[in-house]
Amino acid sequence: MNQFWNNEYIKTAGDYSVVILSIVVFLAIFELVTKYNNWEEIKRGNVAVAMATGGKIYGIANIFRHSIMQNDSLLNMIIWGMYGFFLLLVGYFIFEFLTPKFKIDEEIKNDNRAVGLISMIISIGLSYVIGSGIS
């Protein structure tokens, strides 16, 4: 049985499955902290929400990429991925705090694409910093 779990195809499929599930869970958490419904806004054609959500998806995936590369066990990969997501979430709150002249969520909900783009870039950029810390 040990040979089964050490097979690279099985390990890759396991990592992939965990990351897909994690993205779904972490996006649900982001959904709870934002003042808008991501998928309803995207369905309506809100490009700012699509960019911000895409940045979050990319950020989460990039964090897990580093976590997979650095950790041999599935459990350690999950723990580091969760920690990286927590840091990404903290970055979201810091972004909101550092812009006191307007509310990020309201601007993104109103399809302010400049704010959506900055939100996307922040998520992607922070994921590289978090990923390098994991590596």
Render 23-47 in DSSP notation, one character per residue.
Answer: HHHHHHHHHHHSSS-HHHHHHTT-H
30-34: which pairs have CB atoms within 8 A and are 24 or more residues apart? 30/56, 30/89, 30/92, 33/89, 33/92, 33/93, 34/105, 34/108
Burial class (CB in 10 A: 0-12, 13-18, 19+), 32: exposed
Q: Give the three-class secondary structure for 18.
A: helix
pLDDT at 1: 66
Residue 134: is its pLDDT beyond 80?
A: yes
Question: With pLDDT > 70 as the criterion, what percentage of the chain qualifies?
Answer: 99
Q: Do the Cβ atoms of 33 and 92 come closer than 8 Å? A: yes
Q: Are 59 and 128 in contact (CB under 8 A)?
A: no
Share of the chain above pLDDT 90, in %: 74
8 versus 17: the higher-pLDDT residue is 17
Do residues 55 and 122 lie in contact, with contact meaning Cβ atoms separated by under 8 Å?
Answer: yes
Length of the chain: 135
What is the value of pTM for the model shown?
A: 0.89
